[in-house]
Amino acid sequence: MTERSPAVLVLADGTVFNGKALGIKGKTAGELAFNTGMTGYQEVFTDPSYLGQLLIMNTSHIGNYGVHRDESESDVMQVAGIIVKKFSEIASRVGGDGTLEEMMFRDNKLGISDIDTRALVRHIRQHGAMNAIVSTEQDIDVNALLKEVLEVPSMKGMELSSKVSTKEAFEVKSTTGKSLFKVALLDLGVKRNIIRCLNERDCDVMVFPMHSSLEEMLAYQPDGFMLSNGPGDPGAMQATHQLVGEIISTAIPVFGICMGHQVIALSQGLATEKMHHGHRGLNHPIKNLKTGKGEITSQNHGFVVAKSSLVGRTDIEVTHVHLNDDTIAGIALKNKPVFSVQYHPESSAGPHDSRYLFDDFITNMKNFKK
């Protein structure tokens, strides 16, 4: 309703949107991105891959069913701020744990509502991803905000994983009562559901900080390596490329998701590139080139493995492609039990069509153990 105080969104190209303030009073800047999912806002906002992103939610209503203790993908909200059309002040869910705004206050987050999000999305679609700033402060000076946003560094070349990776290694035990596999997970900004999907498949998972050494990880005696998702530019983390190269040369099975996929590619000499405005949503069509089947997938990436860098690489197979723009969505190394996907088979939020990839990983580990 009208009681909310005004807020403003200023884009790096000078475009201004006026709306209403959400969450704490303050300012927040980041790279604008949009997510087209119609459900799962809590999972999205707490996904570490969204660190540093000012996230536009395309769907009209956000916050309707509040938040729930079991539906966070990390401890806190990771987005730099949220941009929505209609924000629900109430939470309708019998088993829920309060409103989305309560969570925003808890995590010191802010956002803006009641703006023409569709116009904003179209603007990004035309002009590409760019930085922006939201202010919910009492005194709004658009010119000062514009100056400020121009000083925000570009996402390109920015390493962010270290900000969300665990500081200490920790183990999460299988939830099935059976511990058949040990997985060493390199945390580049892992979503909880990746760990859960492994736990549900008889895996104990040791989550390692991103700057761990191969020796430290091998000391766990893993049956497989999981390379997680994470925020930032995958090209800006050379040490990780090297570590992943070493991991792959152990011949232990490896499964990479999103950034994990990108660093596998980079470790093998492929290149990544920044996309015009990325893929973020729950409805992305992927074709599995091995089975010929389609999958509806959850995606969140602004960088992608460059197709051109694959030319002549007979040692690497493209296993999945994105049906909308033909970008590379999955690769496998031909003579090694290593595969990875650009999208999120653990989903959360999103469809469960691609969970079979975890089963494939288990099969690889089984074969390896033999």
Partner 1 sequence: MPRNNNIQSVLIIGSGPIVIGQACEFDYSGSQAARSLREEGIEVTLINSNPATIMTDKVVADNVYLEPLEPESIIKILENHKIDAVLPTMGGQTGLNLAIKCQEMGIWEEFGVALIGVDIDAIEITENREAFRNLMEKIDVPMAPQKTAKSFLEGKRVAQEFGFPLCIRASYTLGGAGAAVVYEEKEFDKLLDSGLHISPIHEVMIDKAMMGWKEYELELLRDNNDNVVIICSIENFDPMGVHTGDSITVAPAMTLSDTTFQRMRNMAIKMMRSIGNFAGGCNVQFAVSPDEKEDIIAIEINPRVSRSSALASKATGYPIAKIAAKLAIGYNLDELSNQITKTTSALFEPTLDYVIVKIPRWNFNKFPGADRTLGLQMKSVGEVMGIGRSFQEALQKACQSLEINRNGLGADGKEVTDQNEILHSLEFPSWNRLFHIYDAIKLGIPMKRIIEKTKIDIWFLKQIEELIKLERQIEKFNIDTITKDLLFEAKQKGYADRQIAHLLRCLESEVYQKRSALNIRRVYKLVDTCAAEFEAQTPYYYSTFEEENESVVTDRKKVVVLGSGPNRIGQGIEFDYSCVHGVLAAKECGYETIMINCNPETVSTDFDTADKLYFEPVFWEHIYDIIQHEKPEGVIVQLGGQTALKLAQKLERYGIKIIGTSFEALDIAEDRGRFSNVLKENNIPYPEFGVVESAEQALELSDQLGFPLLVRPSYVLGGQKMKIVISKEELEHHVVDILRDMPENQILLDHFLGGAIEAEADAICDGENVYIIGVMQHIEPAGIHSGDSYAVLPPYNLGDLVMQQIEDITHKIAVELKTVGLINIQFAIKDDKVYVIEANPRASRTVPFIAKAYDEPYVNYATKVMLGEKKVTDFNFSPRKEGYAIKIPVFSFNKFPNVNKELGPEMKSTGEAIRFIKDLKDPFFRKIFAERNLYLSR
Contact call for residue 350 and partner 1 (CB under 8 A): yes
246 assigned to active site = no
Shortest spacing between CB 23 and partner 1, in angstroms: 20
What secondary structure, in 3-state letters, does 23-76 show?
Answer: ECCCEEEEEEEEECCCCCHHHHHCCHHHECEEEEECCCEECCCCCCHHHCCCCC
Residue 239: helix, strand or coil by DSSP? helix
In the block, tokens 């653990």 appear at 346
Contact call for residue 175 and partner 1 (CB under 8 A): no
Question: For residues 272, 274, 276 and 278, what is the CA-based torsion angle, rounded to 10 degrees?
Answer: 80
Contact call for residue 290 and partner 1 (CB under 8 A): no
214, 247 contact by CB (below 8 A): yes
Stretch that binds partner 1, among 146-154, 194-202, 322-330, 357-365 (CB under 8 A): 322-330
Among 12, 29, 62, 65, binds partner 1 (CB under 8 A): 65
* Helical ranges in the chain per DSSP H: 41-45, 100-106, 117-127, 142-150, 161-164, 192-199, 214-218, 238-249, 259-267, 356-369
Among 25, 125, 173, 369, binds partner 1 (CB under 8 A): 125
Q: Which two tokens stand for residue 256?
A: 């990479």
What backbone torsions phi and psi does residue 44 show, to the nearest 5 degrees? -65, -50
346 assigned to active site = yes
Nearest to 301 by CA among 269, 333, 260, 266: 260
258 assigned to active site = yes
Q: Please pick, among 197, 258, 277, 320, the residue that the annotation labels catalytic.
A: 258
Contact call for residue 281 and partner 1 (CB under 8 A): yes
Contact call for residue 46 and partner 1 (CB under 8 A): no
Stretch that binds partner 1, among 39-47, 180-188, 254-262, 328-336 (CB under 8 A): 39-47
Contact call for residue 230 and partner 1 (CB under 8 A): no
Count other C-beta atoms under 10 Å from residue 150's C-beta.
14
Contact call for residue 59 and partner 1 (CB under 8 A): yes
Which of 116, 151 has the CB closer to partner 1?
A: 116
Interface map 233-272 toward partner 1 (x if CB under 8 A): ----------------------------------------
Q: Which two tokens stand for residue 93?
A: 């869910």
Contact call for residue 163 and partner 1 (CB under 8 A): no
Q: Which two tokens stand for residue 290?
A: 């091995």
Count other C-beta atoms under 10 Å from residue 145's C-beta.
22
Which of 58, 342 has the CB closer to partner 1?
A: 58
Q: Please pick, among 241, 277, 322, 344, the residue that the annotation labels catalytic.
A: 344
Which residues form the interface with partner 1 (CB under 8 A)?
Answer: 1-2, 17, 34, 36-40, 43, 58-61, 64-65, 68, 70-71, 85-86, 88, 90, 92-95, 116-119, 121-122, 125, 281-285, 287, 292-294, 296, 323-325, 347-352
